[in-house]
Every structure is written in C-alpha cells, then in structure tokens.
A and B are shown apart, each in its own frame.
Chain A
Amino acid sequence: MTRRLNGALALAVLVLAAVVVSAAFAASSATPGVTSKTITIGGTFPLTGPAALYGVIPKAEAAYFAYVNASGGVNHRQIVFKYYDDGYNPANTVPLTKKLVEQDHVFAVYGSLGTAPTLATRDYLNKAGVPQVLVATGDSYWGAQYKKYPWTIGFQPDYPGESRIYGQFIHNKVPQAKIGVLMQDDAYGQNYYNGLVAGLGADKSKIVDVEKYDATATDVTQQVVKLKAAGANVFALFALPTQTITALVVATKIGWQPTTFINNVSSSPLFMGLAQKSGANVQGDISATYVNDVWNNPNTATAKLYKSIIAKYDSGADPLDANVLYGVASAWTAVQALKAAGANPTRQSFMTALTNMNEVNPFLYPGIKMVTTPTERFPIDQQILEQYKGTAWQPFGHIFSKAR
C-alpha cells in the first residue's frame, strides 16, 4: 500500500513540476522580436519531404542575413532568422507558426513557402497583427486580397501573370500554333492555364489538348505521349521541377520537338542542366525570369557579391540553382524594408515600408523595379522572356510590365 501511495505521489509531483516549469517559460515581451541589439524574424519551409528541393531558399536567405549582420546589421541590430521544417504539411505549419509568434516572439513571419501552408496561417497571423511577408508562392491571393488580410504580402510575380506573357508571345509570334498543355491537376496548374488563356486571347482555340497530372505522380510519360499524338507543336509545360524534367526528357525520347514554354519555378538552370544530362533536347525552350542574370554576366558587381556571400555563408549551395538567388533577392527586400521601418521599427512601420516601396533590387534583372503602394501590393510584377541556348538561358526582348 505504501508503495502505491509512493507511486501516486511521485506521479503527482511530476505533474506539478511540469506545471511549474511550463509557467517559468511563459515569457512575455514588450515589443515582439525587437531588442536594442537584435531583431527576430522567422518562417516555415519544407526542409524534408517531396518539396524539400526548395529547402535551399531559407539557407540562402540566412546567408544574406549573415552577410548583413557582418556588415553591422540593420539599424545596428543583428538579424536573428529562425526557420522550421513544416514538410509542406499545413498541420505542421500552423503549430510551428504559432511557436514562432508566441514562443520565439518573432517580429514578423517572413518568406514562408507554399500556398496551402500560407493560407493555413493567414487568418491567425492577420488576427494577431503579425506581418506575414514576402511569402514564397506565386499565387495572386496575397496581392489581391489585401483588404481582408492587410498583414500579408507576397514577393514573386504571380503565376497567371507569367503565363499570360507566354500566351501573348504565342499569339504574336507563333502563327501556326497548336498548343498542348501539361498542367498539375489543381489550383497551381489552373493558375497557369488561366493566364495562358488570357494571354492567347482569340487564339485560345489553338489549344489542341490539355493533359493533367497529380502532384504525387512521378511519371508523366502517358500525358506527353498523348500531347504528341494530338499534333501539338507548342508545349506549355506548367509543372513542378520533378515532372518538368521528366516531361522534357520523355518528349525528346519519343521524338517530339515542339516549341516549349517552361514555367519559371521549374526552369532554374540547375533543372535545365539535369534535363540535358538526362537526354532532353532543351535548345530553344522559352521561359520567363526576373532575377539577375549572374550566369551570363559573372563579372558584374552583383554577381561577384552574390558569389562571395554564398561562398562564405552557404557553401553547400549549387551556384546553378536559381532558387538560391531567389532567396538572396528576397532577403535583400526584407532588409530594405527593415531599414525603412525606422530606428525603432514596429510591425506597422514594417508593413508601411513594404507597401510603399520603390526600389531597385540588385539581385533582380536590371530594369525591373520593385514598386508597391498601399493598394498595389505586388512587389515584383515585371518579367523578361528568356530562351535556352547552349547551356544557359539568354534573356531576350523587353521587360513585360504589370505581368499580372
């Protein structure tokens, strides 16, 4: 009997201890995330799982922040960047975001990646008045729904705007087009498709076949075969990187050589190189870009700075990976806005800075300007077309404005 009593007492003590300990950690802070020496921001990214190839982005962002810190920081504050792995699962994103806000007391939630994860946390963050900024997804929601969600803002050009450019190009420059579309069978793919149709205008009827694939599918051979059989001579390839590379290789394998349009997310020089090595003929393929062309202009100040930052703070990164450059460009934007938020930044001043931008981001393509107003909340909405020649992308033509 005494033994049992002892056991029960032990249990009770353990439980009480847990209660006390957790009380000790219920910290509070006056200005969330800002101290005299530091400013803390955080985000959620897929570091494991099928979307893990985007895990290079937070590392690149961290590298840029480290560089800024080494040069004195932002308004004499060191940037503390915390990022957690949500595996692209909103059921992880939500608790991790809550942790960032309530335990890590971040000043802002920065750069979170993925449409669904961002949608999952949007209500919570806006209710709590926490900035949800420069989110890494090309959906139009962030710029379009700012009235309801004023604390949220995106970064990259949105997908429909991008594919509208392709549609316009085909309309103007490819007279006998017979278009075959491969798209992901969900909102992501639908975004691109809608933009393409909008850009084609009257030429919409030139779409001869639309094939879809599920994001979990590894093989898209069946769809590519059907597109070829439908007689398409233009291939609108709106897919994720994995399926894009597969589609390019399979197209060559079955002897199909259409004029191919690849979406920006999947056209990183890294992926093109992989496709080429695997046997795809990607000469002449067309995509759009908005980042600085460090690959063709390696001796510019920007390219040298970029390389030095990566070499020093993110040495494992592949220089061909455009996502790394994306991360640096995004981080630059965050730092600019933090600077503009003033010597004593508040969350409101940070959002004001982000919604009143007129900046030239050195890591973006020369000629592109980041402009936002309180009612025009797409930081980047310009892109330039590029064509793959040899082993690199060659931008051509003019910069398309209001690519939306």
Chain B
Amino acid sequence: MKLTKPSLFGVAVAVVVAVAIALLPLTMSDYHDSTGADVAVFFIAILALNIVTGYTGQISIGHGAFMAVGGYTTAILTHNHGWNDLATLPLAALVGFAFGVLVGLPALRFHGVYLALTTFAVALAVPQVAKNYPKFTGGTEGLALPTHSGVWLYRTTWIVAGIVFVLAWLLLRGRTGRAFRSVRDSEIAASSSGVTLSLYKTLAFGVSAAFAGVAGSLYVLVNNFVNPDVFGLTLSLYILIGAVVGGLGSLWGVLVGAAFVQLLPIGLTTTHISSSQSVPVIFGAVVIAVMALLPLGAANLLGTFLHFGSQMGQSSDVPLGTEGR
C-alpha cells in the first residue's frame, strides 16, 4: 500500500470506517462487542505480520509466538504483581520488540522456506517454554485475569488498534518503509543501494513483534485468561491466513483479513450447518477458494472495485523460493 501521500479520498474512507467502528457498539450486545474486540486484536496482529512479510518479504508462520510473549508479559505482571492491565501494554511492546530482534538476528541467515520453517519452530517452542515454568505462567492451568465489559474491551482494543495503525503508517511512509520494500523486492539491489540489510530486516522483525506483543496482551485481556493452548500453532496459521486473504501490504486488507479469520469460524461453529464437525471442512474449503479466486487478497478486489488506482493491492510478491540462501 502506498502510504506515502494519502489521497483525500483515502482519508475520507478511513474516517467513515473509523466512525462506523466507533458507533457499532451502541447497537450491539455485549457479546458482539467482545467479538469486535477480537477482530481488533487480529487487526493488530495481521498488521504486525504485514510489516515483516508484506513489507520486507520475510515469511513468518510464528507470530503467535510474539503474541504469546506480549500476552504472558501482561498476564504475569497483572496476575502475579498486581499491575493495572492496561499499563502493561507498553512493556509488552518492549518485550515483544526484544524478542523479535532475538528471532530476527539468526533469521538473517535464512530465506524463503527455511525462514518460514524457522518461525514455525519458534511458534511451537514458545508455548512449550511457557509450560515449563508454571510458577510464573500458571502452566497448563494458566492465569485468570480480571474481566471487563464487552464495551470496554471493544473501545480499548480499537483505540489501541488505531494507535498502532497510525504508528505503522508513520514508520512505513518514510525512509524505513522504502527500505523495507526494497529489501522485499530485491535484496541485492537494496544492498547495493546502501540499505543495510541486517539492520532493516531485524528492525522489521522487532517492530512487527512489538505490535504482535501488543495484540497478544489485548488477546489475553479480551479472554481474561492465558495458557499455552491460547497461543498454539493454530493462532499463527490464522494470522497468516488473515494476512494473505486480506491482501499483503494493504490496509483494507488487514481489516477484511481480521474479520475473515475471526468471524467466519465462530460464525460457522454457532450456525450448526449440518453438524459442528463440518466447520473445519467449510472453513478450509473457503480458504482454498479464496486463494484460488483472489490470490492477491480481498484488497485487490476492493481496489479494482472502488477504483483506487494502480496503487492498491500491490502485487504481494513474497519470494518463498530457495534462491539467495
């Protein structure tokens, strides 16, 4: 998404959507508010993934792990040390950033498939480590946190989502964003133009993990509970699905993607089409269908429909191949 110069139209639409999001809770039940809060959480997580995968082309199937790091930070501080839960968010972002850099550094050695599988490994390892220290993390029985009303959760998560979006926009509109995109498009060209690959790739991981950590904190607040199963592999896979279904590198895409992975499964689960066993079958089939029909994501479709011009729905050409290792 070309975020450099916001067209008047783009801003107008953004304002309409923001207002709609702000007004929705007035007519929704508490349950729908919580669901909306979940969508906000995924919005942040998918936005985070976009930074590392859509912008610098580093595949990550491990964002659940970054969410876990942030989520557990919040849970431990709130449950064990009595912090106010919102106050833990900045710290969760910081811890996430540190962990992201920690992962990003060795990840410099890997590309494509190998990078993807490394992040896959991280996604699996983090919940196991959480299980290993039950005194802090509550182990499999987890930690219960104070509950909040649906409206509070909705407002808080969407306000944070808005802040994260603005921060991401500011980061990506300038030199950093250009550097990120040049890394994705051609590492060799970028490097020969003076872009320090290691700095920007690691930075991308760090920032992405920071945002994902915030998403994780909010996820824990929305569910008022944390345990390793909350951050399993499924979460990482769903974030990736959401990012690609939405369209890598697109704002509207992030919103669509978040709605898709959050609302569709739960919608299917509770609608009892034939039997609850059919839910994964339908969801899986829909994912495949979306990939076949809209390979560049919903954003591409929206872009052509609303004639945003050639900038929307940028070809998300993320190299998964084995070259450049």
Interface residues of A (CB under 8 A from B): 3-4, 7-8, 11-12, 15-16, 18-20, 22-23, 25-26, 47-48, 83-85, 87-92, 94-96, 98-99, 101-103, 115-116, 119-120, 122-124, 127, 185-188, 214-216
Contact = CB atoms under 8 A, between A and B. Distances in A.
B144 A96 contact: no
B140 A187 contact: yes
A91 B219 contact: yes
Contacts of A91: 219, 223, 229-230, 235
A130 to B, nearest CB: 13
B257 interface: no
A123 B221 CA distance: 13
B153 to A, nearest CB: 11
Nearest to A127: B147
Interface stretch (B16-24, B100-108, B163-171, B313-321): B16-24
Interface of B: 9, 12-13, 16-17, 20, 23-24, 27-32, 34-35, 38, 128, 131, 134, 139-142, 144, 146-147, 150, 219, 222-227, 229-230, 232, 234-235, 266, 269-270, 276-277, 279-280, 305-307
Contacts of A48: 277, 279-280
- Max chain A Cβ within 10 angstroms of own Cβ: one of B34, B128, B142, B225: B225
B141 A115 contact: yes
B216 to A, nearest CB: 11
Contact of A119 (B9, B225, B269): B225
B229 A89 contact: yes
A120 B232 contact: no
Nearest to A104: B270
A37 B23 CA distance: 37
Given A4-B306, A85-B279, A95-B266, A120 B144 contact: yes
Nearest to B32: A22
Given A48-B280, A119-B144, 8 more contacts: A19-B23, A20-B27, A89-B229, A90-B223, A95-B223, A98-B150, A116-B227, A122-B144
Given A15-B16, A48-B277, A89-B230, A116 B142 contact: yes
Given A22-B28, A98-B31, A12 B9 contact: no
A105 B289 CA distance: 35
Identify whether the interface residues of B are mostly helix, strand, loop, or mixed: helix
A7 B134 contact: no
Nearest to A20: B27
Among all A-B residue pairs, the 7 with the closest Cβ atoms? A120-B225, A23-B27, A102-B31, A15-B20, A7-B306, A186-B140, A94-B223
A8 B13 contact: yes
Contacts of A88: 229
Given A91-B230, A116-B142, A215-B140, A98 B225 contact: no
Contacts of A96: 266, 269-270
A398 B126 CA distance: 47
Contacts of A120: 142, 144, 223-225, 227
Given A90-B227, A94-B225, A102-B29, A187 B270 contact: no
B140 A26 contact: no
B149 to A, nearest CB: 10
Given A4-B306, A7-B305, A98 B229 contact: no
A7 B276 CA distance: 37
Contact of B34 (A98, A122, A127): A98
Given A7-B307, A48-B280, A95 B144 contact: no
Contact of A95 (B24, B38, B134, B307): B38
A25 to B, nearest CB: 8
A15 B17 contact: yes
Contacts of A7: 305-307
A66 B251 CA distance: 49
Contact of A84 (B12, B28, B225, B276): B276
A394 B148 CA distance: 50
A85 B276 contact: yes
Given A96-B266, A186-B131, A90 B142 contact: yes
B29 to A, nearest CB: 5
Contacts of B280: 48
Contacts of B134: 186-187
16 contacts: A4-B9, A4-B306, A7-B307, A11-B13, A11-B16, A11-B17, A12-B16, A18-B24, A19-B20, A26-B27, A91-B235, A102-B29, A119-B141, A119-B144, A120-B224, A186-B140
